[in-house]
Amino acid sequence: MTRQEVLETYSVRDGVIENLGKFEGEAIFVPAFWDESANGMCNEISFPDGETIYVAELTDNDRKEWPEIDPDTFALLMSESDQGFVTCEQASAERVAALQSEADAAWESETEEED
């Protein structure tokens, strides 16, 4: 989904989606990256409780298309609530690595409990 497609699909004010629903209150770029996650173009961090965080690592082209993204952001972390709302966090490489470590530890703990 391109910037133009987002602007044609959603009402955006000050870089934030105003439409009620899945992306309400999220940044203009979130639907585009959520689209990528639905197409298998993002990494996933999964937890034993069923939570999945989609990780969209940013490229120079992404930054050009979406200048609203903080220049220090390494990746976008996206998840969907049980009610179907998508949330997005701009994250550093360290934050992504910490989340992956947290998920790995949770899976190890889960495996140990089964033994």
Q: In this model, does residue 92 exceed pLDDT 80?
A: yes
pLDDT band at 110, cuts 50/70/90? Answer: confident
Say if 34 falls within a structural domain: yes
For the beta carbon of residue 113, count every other beta carbon within 10 angstroms.
Answer: 8
Integer angstrom CA distances of residue 93 from 67, 73, 85, 100, 101: 19, 8, 25, 11, 12
Question: Distance between CA 22 and CA 79 in Å, rounded?
Answer: 11
Number of domains composing the chain: 1
pLDDT confidence of residue 67: 96
Say if 2 falls within a structural domain: no
pLDDT confidence of residue 46: 96
SS3 track for 16-41: EECCCCCCCCCECCHHHHHHHHHCCC
Q: What is the rounded average pLDDT for all residues in the chain?
A: 95
Say if 55 falls within a structural domain: yes
User: Can you read off the two tokens belonging to residue 113?
Assistant: 């409990």
Identify the helix (H) or strand (E) that includes residue 99. helix 93-114
Say if 18 falls within a structural domain: no
Query: In terms of residues, how long is the chain?
Result: 115
Say if 79 falls within a structural domain: yes
Strand, coil or helix: what is 111?
Answer: helix
End-to-end CA gap in the chain: 45
Say if 1 falls within a structural domain: no
Say if 9 falls within a structural domain: no
Domain span at 57:
29-114
Q: In this model, does residue 111 exceed pLDDT 90?
A: no
pLDDT, tens digit, 9 for 90 and up, residues 31-54: 999 999 989 999 999 999 999 999
Say if 104 falls within a structural domain: yes
Q: Model pTM?
A: 0.91
